[in-house]
Structure 1
Amino acid sequence: MNVSISGHHISITDAMDTAVREKLEKVERHFDRIQSLQVILSLDNSGAKKSHKAEAIMRVSGKEMFVQALDDDMYKAINEMADKLDRQVRKYKTKLESKKTQGAGRDGRYEDLMTAEAEPAVEAAV
């Protein structure tokens, strides 16, 4: 998995980098077919208080997922961003698995039709 971590109006410390990578390991445990992951940590000074924002853009085959989290503390924003991304990954994985099990095969209606046609033939032969 290709992970890039960048900062906007903030310098990325080793502690921030480590926190992001540790949190994203949980996401990777749930889904291993991640192509790339871009994390942007930013600081917004426009209001009365500082707002820390953590954003992530994750690319998997055929889909791109985006999450963002805002908080007063950067580490809380990172945790919330990782949790949101994990929820999206689990939802996407569940959809993929349900499509795989559903398949393009016959459904229950076909078996019902075949048994309904077979029963009168058995009664006529008796």
Structure 2
Amino acid sequence: MNVSISGHHITVTEAMNKAVHDKLTKIESHFDQIQSIQVILSLDNSGASDGGKKSHKAEAIMRVSGQEMFVQAFDDDMYKAINEMADKLDRQVRKYKTRLERNKIKGAGRDARYADTAVEDIEPAS
């Protein structure tokens, strides 16, 4: 799994890097066919000039075969935003994995029924 972490208007510290990697290993344990994850940590201080709190944002774009998943989370604390982002991504991964397994079962059922009828048609009558 290829993980790239970048910061926008913020310097990514070693602690932030470790927090992101720790959370993403949990996701990888659920689904091992992840091609890449791009994480963007940013600081939006547009509301800071009028007395508002600075908003930390954590975004992730995850690529698996045939699909791309995007999540983002906002919080006053960067580590809370990272945790929320990882939880959202984990939910999407579990949902995607369930969908793949459900489709695999459906496909196998159809193939088995088709194989039974095909064998009956081919065998010669006695």
Q: TM-score range by the shorter chain?
A: 0.7 to 0.9
Equivalent residue number for residue 64 of structure 1 = 68
Determine which structure has more spread, i.e. the larger CA radius of gyration: 1
- Taking only the aligned residue pairs, the percentage that are identical comes to 76
Matched, 1:16 2:16: yes
Question: TM-score w.r.t. structure 2 length?
Answer: 0.83
Secondary structure of residue in 2 paired with 1:68: strand
**TM-score normalised by length of structure 1:** 0.83
1:35-74 mapped onto 2 (5 Å cutoff) = 35-47=35-47, 48-74=52-78
Detail structure 1 runs of 4+ shifted over 3 Å in the superposition: none
2:111 to 105, 109, 118: 105
Count residues with an aligned counterpart: 109
Match of 1:90 among 66, 91, 94: 94
CA RMSD of aligned residues (A): 1.5
User: Structure 1: where are the runs of 5+ without partners?
Assistant: 112-126
Deviation at 1:105, TM superposition (A): 2.3
CA distance in 2, matches of 1:46, 1:16: 22
C-alpha distance in 2 between matches for 1:27 and 1:52 = 22
Gaps of 5+ in 2: 118-126
